[in-house]
Amino acid sequence: MLNSRAMAEMKSTRAGFGDGLLDIAEAIPEVVTVDADLRHSVQTLKFAEKYPTRAYNIGIAEQNLIGVSAGLAHAGKIPFCATFAVFATGLGYNQIRQSVAYSGNNVKVVGTHGGMLTGEDGATHQALEDLSLMRGLPGMRVYCPADYYEARAMMPLIAKEKNPCYLRLGRQNLPVVYDANYKPKLGKIDILREGKTAAVFAIGTEVPFALEAAEILKAEKIDLTVVNVSTLKPLDVAGILKLLEKFETVFTAEDHSIIGGLGSAIAEVIAENATKTKLVRIGMRDMFGESGTSDALLEKYLLDGKGLVKQIKQGLTE
């Protein structure tokens, strides 16, 4: 259910993950957490305090974080191993590939602080290629919730899956899209707003900005359909194709490189099905980020609501 408060509430998806862990802890005793000395930042601290015998702090050793998690999964546990997205998928990539994906271990890799919104930590801490890395691994499911409530509601569904997965979360408090009654469907797109001019497929932290852009453009008689693609893999190809039939132009919006992420995924659907739809990918071009406040970076790289408005209007006229 969409939030009737017009996205007035501000929360982060990492907080939804942390509260979701507590939601499932009693019902699924196999759930454990594995951390790399960042419990407060990745929101596993409350779980560790309540269930200390089910929480493992490996220290600043991200490769070992993945290896230990794989071992726990092999022993029948359901490990949610969490660290910053850039460390999980960068430092731990080989271990994820060999010990999780290739081995088929039921590990839930959780990458928080995905994208540019990491505070002033700069390019070294901004994961802009993590979705691409995880999406390319055979058998790996990739999820990126739009807001706090979707992240929280995803947790029991992800825990019950018997597959390795990557859950990408954001650091920043952003407007919530849904409310506490929302029931997500993994593997399906969700149409948040229906319009007639064009469609915007958005993922993660870009979803509320896409909705903001749609409201601004409404005054200019540009009527957008806004779609939340919180499951990047397996992609809802059938649902996407239905929308592609309706529009001459579609956009993708992601706080990620346009190479290998949501933009590439939609481009593949268009190419493989020989549709005539024009695609405009909005995201980070072939570049690293930089240090700055979240608001300043979003504005500079045209990824906030006003920035999306500018890029969508340009895409519709070119």
Domains of the chain and CATH, by start: 10-175 (3.40.50.970), 190-317 (3.40.50.920)
Would you state the pLDDT for residue 119?
78
User: Can you tell me the distance from the alpha carbon of 293 to that of 84, in angstroms, rounded to the nearest whole number?
Assistant: 18
Cis peptide before 234 (omega within 30 of 0): yes
Partners of 55 in the β-ladder: 33
Average pLDDT over residues 127-136: 97
Burial status of residue 75 (CB atoms within 10 A of its CB: 0-12, 13-18, 19 or more): exposed
| pLDDT higher than threshold 80 for residue 4 | no
User: Can you tell me the distance from the alpha carbon of 223 to that of 96, in angstroms, rounded to the nearest whole number?
Assistant: 42
- Tell me the residue type at 253: A
| pLDDT higher than threshold 50 for residue 5 | no
CA distances to 87, 191, 206, 263 from 201, rounded to whole Å, are 27, 9, 9, 9
Nearest-Å Rg of the Cα atoms of the chain is 19
Average pLDDT over residues 266-277: 95
| Relative orientation angle of helices 206-218 and 305-317, to the nearest 10 degrees | 60
| pLDDT 10s digits, 132-153 | 999 999 999 999 999 999 999 9
